[in-house]
Amino acid sequence: MTQLETYITENEGRFLEDLKSWLRIPSISTLPEHAVDIRRAAVYAVDQLKHIGFERAELIQTAGHPLVYGEWLKAPGKPTLLIYGHYDVQPVDPVELWNSPPFEPTVRGDNLYCRGACDDKGQTMLVLKALEALMMVNGTLPVNVKVLIEGEEEAGGESIEHYVNTYPERLQCDAAFICDTGIPAKDIPALIYGLRGIIYTEVEVRGAKRDLHSGEYGGVAPNPLHSLAIIIAGLKDAEGHIHVPGLYDKVRKPTAEELKFWHEDPLHINESLLEEMGVSQFTGESEYPPMERMWARPTLEVHGIIGGFVGEGAKTVIPAVGRAKISLRLPPDVKSEEAFTLFERRVKELAPAGVEVIVHKVHGGEGVMVLPDSPPIQAAAAALKETFGKEPIYIREGGSIPIAALFYEVLKAPVVLMGFGLPDDNLHSPNEKYSLTQFYRGIRTVASFLQKLA
Amino acid sequence: MTQLETYITENEGRFLEDLKSWLRIPSISTLPEHAVDIRRAAVYAVDQLKHIGFERAELIQTAGHPLVYGEWLKAPGKPTLLIYGHYDVQPVDPVELWNSPPFEPTVRGDNLYCRGACDDKGQTMLVLKALEALMMVNGTLPVNVKVLIEGEEEAGGESIEHYVNTYPERLQCDAAFICDTGIPAKDIPALIYGLRGIIYTEVEVRGAKRDLHSGEYGGVAPNPLHSLAIIIAGLKDAEGHIHVPGLYDKVRKPTAEELKFWHEDPLHINESLLEEMGVSQFTGESEYPPMERMWARPTLEVHGIIGGFVGEGAKTVIPAVGRAKISLRLPPDVKSEEAFTLFERRVKELAPAGVEVIVHKVHGGEGVMVLPDSPPIQAAAAALKETFGKEPIYIREGGSIPIAALFYEVLKAPVVLMGFGLPDDNLHSPNEKYSLTQFYRGIRTVASFLQKLA
pLDDT, tens digit, 9 for 90 and up, residues A399-449: 999 899 999 999 999 999 999 999 889 988 899 999 999 999 999 999 999
Cα dihedral B83/B88/B94/B99 (nearest 10): 70
Q: What's the CA gap between B266 and B393, in Å, rounded?
A: 11
Chain A residues touching B348 at Cβ < 8 A? none
Average pLDDT, integer, range A311-324: 92
Q: pLDDT at position B326, please? A: 98
pLDDT, tens digit, 9 for 90 and up, residues B344-371: 999 999 999 999 999 999 989 999 999 8
CB B269 within 8 A of CB A217: no
Strand partners, B328: B199, B300
Tell me what ipTM this predicted complex has.
Answer: 0.86
Q: Where in chain B is the domain with CATH 3.30.70.360?
A: 197-251+298-365
Q: Strands, DSSP E only, in B104-143?
A: 106-108, 111-113
Q: Which of A94, A315, A322 sits opposite B91 (nearest CB)?
A: A315
Helix or strand or coil: residue B427?
coil
Chain A residues touching B347 at Cβ < 8 A? none
Average pLDDT, integer, range B181-210: 95
CB B384 within 8 A of CB B393: no
Average pLDDT, integer, range B68-87: 98
pLDDT, tens digit, 9 for 90 and up, residues B39-59: 999 999 999 999 999 999 999
Q: What's the CA gap between B229 and A305, in Å, rounded?
A: 10
Q: What's the CA gap between A221 and B279, in Å, rounded?
A: 9
Burial class (CB in 10 A: 0-12, 13-18, 19+), B178: buried
Q: What's the CA gap between A302 and A295, in Å, rounded?
A: 18
Residue A20: its H or E element:
helix A3-23
Residue A428: DSSP 8-state: T
pLDDT, tens digit, 9 for 90 and up, residues A44-72: 999 999 999 999 999 999 999 999 999 99
Q: Do B215 and A399 touch (CB under 8 A)?
A: yes
Pairing relationship of beta strands A175-178 and A80-86 according to DSSP bridges: parallel
Quote the mean pLDDT of chain A: 96
Q: pLDDT at position B131, please? A: 98
Q: Do B215 and A32 touch (CB under 8 A)?
A: no
Cα distances from A191 to residues A386, B137, B388, B454, in angstroms, run: 14, 93, 83, 91
Q: Strands, DSSP E only, in A89-189?
A: 106-108, 111-113, 144-150, 175-178
Per residue in A178-216, is it b (16+ CB within 10 Å) or e — as a string? bbbbbbbebeebbbbbbbbbbbbbbbbbbbbebbbbbbb
**Is the bond preceding residue A423 a cis peptide, omega within 30 degrees?**
no
Q: Is the pLDDT of residue B1 over 80?
A: no
Q: What's the CA gap between A215 and A211, in Å, rounded?
A: 12
Q: What's the CA gap between A160 and A149, in Å, rounded?
A: 9
pLDDT, tens digit, 9 for 90 and up, residues A78-128: 999 999 999 999 999 889 999 999 999 999 999 999 999 999 999 999 999
- Maximum alpha-carbon separation in chain B: 81
Q: What's the CA gap between A333 and A310, in Å, rounded?
A: 40
B423: confidence class by pLDDT, cuts 50, 70, 90:
confident
A287: confidence class by pLDDT, cuts 50, 70, 90:
very high
Q: Do B240 and A233 touch (CB under 8 A)?
A: no
Measured N-to-C along each axis, helices B3-23 and B436-453 cross at an angle, to the nearest 10 degrees, of 130
Residue A211: DSSP 8-state: -
Q: What's the CA gap between A437 and B28, in Å, rounded?
A: 54
Q: Do B301 and A223 touch (CB under 8 A)?
A: yes
A227: confidence class by pLDDT, cuts 50, 70, 90:
very high
Q: pLDDT at position A378, please? A: 96
Alpha helices in B236-356 (DSSP H): 256-264, 269-277, 290-295, 336-350
Q: Do B329 and A215 touch (CB under 8 A)?
A: yes
pLDDT, tens digit, 9 for 90 and up, residues B303-344: 999 999 998 888 899 999 999 999 999 999 999 999 999 999
Q: Do A273 and B211 touch (CB under 8 A)?
A: no
pLDDT, tens digit, 9 for 90 and up, residues A421-434: 998 899 888 999 99
CATH tag for A3-195+367-453 (out of 3.40.50.11540, 3.40.630.10, 3.40.50.300, 3.40.50.2300): 3.40.630.10
Q: Strands, DSSP E only, in A20-74?
A: 56-60, 67-72
Chain A residues touching B304 at Cβ < 8 A? 225, 307-310, 315, 317, 319
Q: Do B230 and A222 touch (CB under 8 A)?
A: no
The Cα of A84 is separated from the nearest Cα of chain B by a number of Å equal to: 19
CB A56 within 8 A of CB A69: yes
Residue A383's closest CA among A438, A440, A439, A441?
A441
With a CB cutoff of 8 Å and minimum separation 6, the contacts of A66 are A38, A39, A42, A59, A60, A151
The Cα of A56 is separated from the nearest Cα of chain B by a number of Å equal to: 33
pLDDT, tens digit, 9 for 90 and up, residues B120-152: 999 999 999 999 999 999 999 999 999 999 999
Q: Strands, DSSP E only, in A73-128?
A: 80-86, 106-108, 111-113
Chain A residues touching B230 at Cβ < 8 A? 229, 232-233, 237-238
pLDDT, tens digit, 9 for 90 and up, residues B235-270: 999 999 999 999 999 999 999 999 999 999 998 999
Q: pLDDT at position B289, please? A: 98
CB B372 within 8 A of CB B442: no
Q: Cβ–Cβ contacts within 10 Å for residue B3, how many? A: 11
Q: What is the DSSP string of B189-246?
A: -EEEEEE-EEEEEEEEEE-SSS-EEHHHHTTTS--HHHHHHHHHHHHB-TTS-B--TT
Residue of chain B with shortest Cα separation from A206 = B279
Residue A448: its H or E element:
helix A436-453
Q: pLDDT at position B156, please? A: 80
CB A385 within 8 A of CB A189: yes
B63: confidence class by pLDDT, cuts 50, 70, 90:
very high
Q: Which of B219, B226, B279 sits opposite A294 (nearest CB)?
A: B219
In the CATH scheme, what is the code of domain A197-251+298-365? 3.30.70.360
Chain B residues touching A227 at Cβ < 8 A? 238
Q: pLDDT at position B258, please? A: 95
Q: pLDDT at position B137, please? A: 98
Helix or strand or coil: residue A5?
helix
Q: Do A352 and B238 touch (CB under 8 A)?
A: yes
Q: Cβ–Cβ contacts within 10 Å for residue B46, how many? A: 20
Pairing relationship of beta strands A415-417 and A321-330 according to DSSP bridges: unpaired
Q: pLDDT at position A428, please? A: 84
Q: What is the Cα A69 distance to its own chain's centre? A: 20
Chain A residues touching B219 at Cβ < 8 A? 240, 284-285, 290, 293-294, 297, 299, 329, 398
Q: Cβ–Cβ contacts within 10 Å for residue B356, how many? A: 15
Q: What's the CA gap between A371 and A381, in Å, rounded?
A: 13
Residue B132: its H or E element:
helix B121-138
Q: Do B304 and A225 touch (CB under 8 A)?
A: yes
Chain A residues touching B199 at Cβ < 8 A? none
Q: Is the pLDDT of residue B417 over 80?
A: yes
Q: What are phi and psi of B38, to 5 degrees?
A: -55, -45
A70, amino acid identity: G
Q: Do A308 and B308 touch (CB under 8 A)?
A: no
A155: confidence class by pLDDT, cuts 50, 70, 90:
confident
